[in-house]
Amino acid sequence: MFGNLSDRLVETFRNLRTKGKLTPADIDATLREIRRALLEADVALEVVKNFVTAVRDRALSDEVSKALNPAQQVVQIVNDELVAILGGEARKISFAKNPPTVIMLAGLQGSGKTTLAGKLSKWLKDQGQTPLLVAADLQRPNAVNQLQVVGERAGVDVFAPEPGNGVGNPVTVAKDAIKHATKKQYSVVIVDTAGRLGIDEELMKQARDIAKATDPDEVLFVIDAMIGQDAVNVAKAFQDGVGITGVVLTKLDGDARGGAALSVSSVTGKPILFSSTGEGLDAFEPFYPDRMASRILDMGDVLSLIEKTQKAFDEDEAKRLSEKMLSETFTLEDFLEQMQQLRKMGNMKSLLAMMPGAGQMREQLENFDEREIDRTEAIIRSMTPRERQEPKVLNGSRRLRIAKGSGVTVTEVNSLVNRFDQAAKMMKTMAKGGMPQIPGMPNMPGMGGGFIGGGKSKKNDKGKKGSKSGNPAKRAAEEAARRASKDVEPGASGSAFGI
């Protein structure tokens, strides 16, 4: 997520962080890097220019020169300005006083409107709403079918009176949908419209007509995170043409730097409400500008993670577990339980991506095998209660039995036990001295080796500082080694440990 931009800025700031005092030349050099990074991240040129000017003004002012750590101050300013561009505070969807609430989706072709309609409806349904999907994209071949399939998967009703493929009038469909929804008491109506170009006057008028006919509470502009400089023009066109109230960013699970997101909210002044992060119906979450900015700066998205945790964890359970963790009596059994709790939060990959320092592990994250958790679970389930309580008793024959019982190799059992030991040590450290090294987060201690590197955890531990200390050659070598190790022992790679 926003991967390369984070990496870039982290790289830039690494030089700053070591300095005690900043000269104007330092600042200019840094800003040049930032300008370039932002442009390469597809932030619109005009937005970049304003951004750089704003940062320079503040960086050259007294607040920096008098700060204890000027470099950190510049980071702070960049962060603040990023948040400002991204739209400041988070906003929730605004519901109508008298249902149904009408949400209209608009955007270019291929931005992901239909998929998003499904996700949004599922999300609303999970919140106790009764959404109705409306098939008003009668243009693209089989868009109506697609929406029906998506609606079925989400368990949401679809209003599709017209077959589409050029047949039918979307304005009429939208109008009828509202009547239908009112009569049947749906609480939210989501209108999926055809993709259109900002310069296509005819289709923009049609979009306006749909808006007029349905009087939407929200008109969400759906935009692909991979879009380039044209994002500005497109956003302006939709704002002027239809009048948007918010933005949804899609395909954020790709490796696009997504700078266009910054441009869109800066140009339209409308907040980004949601981000869409995968093809599954659950790959969808509210967008938090402040968190996203710190994600850009690679400080992790700890807040999002906490929120997800809260949703899935039953609170007492979580409390009990965290007490256990800190009281050093954490066992494999607790670990199993914890893993099952985490599972409820959804996709491990997206969860791990929110962790601080995840930027460095992006490549490994992408290769993270969800089934690895199943295997880990199988291993633990093949242990006797005593073995789970006291992993120390695991001798060779026990390990062999466990390996047979869970259909893995002894090596995999060994590596699980080793990693559990490491994690237990890490927890002891945390219990004594709090979270080690959070702010800069050069690495996730005990974790970096833990989850993805597989049997390579030792190596990673050694490189705790080195892997992010600004020696790209070394980092590349390490990554290569990790990748190579994966090729050699695919079965043993990608453990789920250290969660």
Given the rule CB under 8 A, which residues bind another protein? 36, 39-42, 44-45, 108-112, 114, 139-143, 145-146, 148-150, 153, 165, 197-199, 224, 226-231, 233-234, 237, 251, 253-257, 259-260, 279, 366-367
The residue (of 70 and 259) whose beta carbon lies closer to another protein is 259
Give the position of tokens 């950190």.
72
The residue (of 17 and 362) whose beta carbon lies closer to another protein is 362
CB of 344 to another protein, least distance (A): 23
CA distance 498 to 418: 11
CB of 253 to another protein, least distance (A): 6
CB of 122 to another protein, least distance (A): 13
The residue (of 153 and 344) whose beta carbon lies closer to another protein is 153
DSSP one-letter code for 61: S
Residue 218, H or E segment: strand 218-224
CB of 138 to another protein, least distance (A): 13
Q: Beta-carbon neighbour count of residue 66 at 10 Å?
A: 9
CB of 424 to another protein, least distance (A): 31
The residue (of 292 and 417) whose beta carbon lies closer to another protein is 292
The residue (of 185 and 233) whose beta carbon lies closer to another protein is 233
8 Å CB contact between 442 and 465: yes
Tokens of 55: 């940062």
The residue (of 317 and 366) whose beta carbon lies closer to another protein is 366
The residue (of 45 and 393) whose beta carbon lies closer to another protein is 45
CB of 362 to another protein, least distance (A): 8
Angle between helices 143-154 and 113-126 (to 10 degrees): 20
Preceding omega of 100 cis (within 30 degrees of 0): yes
**What is the biggest distance separating any 2 CA atoms in the chain, rounded to whole angstroms?**
75
The residue (of 110 and 491) whose beta carbon lies closer to another protein is 110
Strands (E), 15-82: none
Distances from the Cα of 432 to the Cαs of 244, 271, 331, 436, in angstroms?
A: 51, 42, 18, 10
Please enumerate in sequence order all residues whose Cβ is within 8 A of that of 456, keeping only pairs 6 or more positions apart, or say none.
449, 481, 482, 485
8 Å CB contact between 74 and 22: yes
Distances from the Cα of 99 to the Cαs of 102, 188, 218, in angstroms?
A: 8, 7, 13
CB of 42 to another protein, least distance (A): 3
Instruction: Kindly give the pairing relationship between strand 188-193 and strand 246-250.
Output: unpaired
CB of 49 to another protein, least distance (A): 9
